[in-house]
Amino acid sequence: MDKILLGSHVSMAGPDYYLGSVKEALKYGENVLMFYTGAPQNNKRTPIEKCKIEEGIALAKENGMELDKFVCHAPYMINLANSDSEKLKFSKDFLKSEIVRCVAFKCRYLVLHPGLHVHLGEDVGLNNIINGLNEVIEEVKDLDFIICIETMAGKGTELGTTFEQVKKIIDGVKYKEKIGVCLDTCHINDAGYIVDDIDCVINEFDRIIGLNLLKVIHLNDSKNPLGAHKDRHENFGFGEIGFDALIKYVYDERLKDIPKILETPYVEDKPPYKEEIEMIKKKEFNPSLKEIIASK
Ligand code: FE
Ligand code: FE
Ligand code: ZN
């Protein structure tokens, strides 16, 4: 395989904003990246003009990064599954403004957690998500973006925990060219899929959703065993999924055009991505990696 599309979550904070995001990714040896357009826990946003977007893009180009495979993550606060009209309006408005913002960063993929049904039940929740997506997309349909529904662990009342649920959402969305999927290896492990059996995962995904809709992979290990419904990420190879299972997703021919993004946890406040990426490129597990990261 010629090139692997490998990156991580990077920060997008002042003073350098997007330029800083690209610099951070380059420091880790990445050719793709994922960022939040602002703090995931509130809706305060730095004006676009201040975000050093052109500088970031220029630096990414200079260094041969794969700009068309960059990923933005929508804030967790957005919950389209809710029925409460005020909360739903907040979520729809926020999603719409994040789509506009994502496009301003010339980023096409926007990963979205489908939502929590709270007490409403699966059917009502899924219906709310579909309606919310349709209303929002209708208003910005001329922009160039793809909302990537993330597969979830099934913590609490999370929806999108099975490929079937994700498929139901996609089936309800009117503008099919605006919708894709983000597969998170930690989440599917916690949801009960055997990550190690990559043929089974890919075949199931293809049979139920369609592999052409897979746009992003979140490459995380899990602190919890198969089917735990927990969603706690672990460093690459250090969790219940393990190195040999995860590495298959990096080098599989069928997934070669899909950006793979690490959302693995910091080790003693230090980012693990440079070391994890080096290890992934060597294709050999290093059991002392966490100590190496911690001692930086
Ligand atoms: Fe996510
Ligand atoms: Fe994820
Ligand atoms: Zn997660």
* Contact assessment for residue 129 and residue 81, using Cβ atoms and an 8 Å cutoff: yes
3-class SS string, 74-121: CCCCCCCCCCCHHHHHHHHHHHHHHHHHHHHCCCCEEEECCCECCCCC
Measured from the alpha carbon of residue 218, the closest ligand is 2
Distance 143 CA to ligand 1 centre (A): 23
Which residue's entry shows tokens 């610099």? 23
CA–centroid distance, residue 112 to ligand 1 (Å): 7
CA of 33 to the centre of ligand 3 (A): 17
Question: Consecutive sets of 10 residues in the chain, 296 residues long: mean pLDDT of each?
Answer: 89 97 98 95 93 98 98 96 94 98 98 96 97 98 98 97 98 98 98 98 98 98 98 98 98 98 98 98 98 96
Are the C-beta atoms of residues 265 and 235 closer than 8 Å to each other?
A: yes
Q: Looking at the CA of 184, which ligand is closest?
A: 2
Give CA–CA dist 159/238, Å, rounded.
27
For residue 157, report the distance from its CA to the centre of ligand 3, in Å.
14
CA 185 – ligand 1 centroid, Å: 11
Note the pLDDT of residue 1. 59
Gap between the Cα atoms of 166 and 119, Å rounded: 19
**pLDDT the model gives residue 3:** 85
Q: How far is residue 222's CA from residue 59's CA, in Å, rounded to a whole number?
A: 33
| Plot region of 45 (φ>0 → left; ψ -120 to 50 → alpha; else → beta) | beta
Question: Relative to the alpha carbon of 219, which ligand is closest?
Answer: 2
Closest ligand (CA of 224):
3
Q: What is the Cα–Cα distance from 234 to 81, expressed in whole angstroms? A: 28
Q: What is the pLDDT of residue 200?
A: 98
184 CA distance to ligand 1 centroid (A)? 8
In this prediction, residue 2 carries a pLDDT of 66
Is the preceding peptide bond at 272 cis, omega within 30 degrees of 0? no
The CA distance from 64 to 50, in Å, is: 24
Q: What is the CA radius of gyration of the chain?
A: 18
Q: Is 226 exposed, middle or buried (0-12, 13-18, 19+ CB in 10 A)?
A: middle
Ligand nearest to the CA of 261: 2
User: How far, in Å, is the centroid of ligand 1 from the Cα of 150?
Assistant: 6
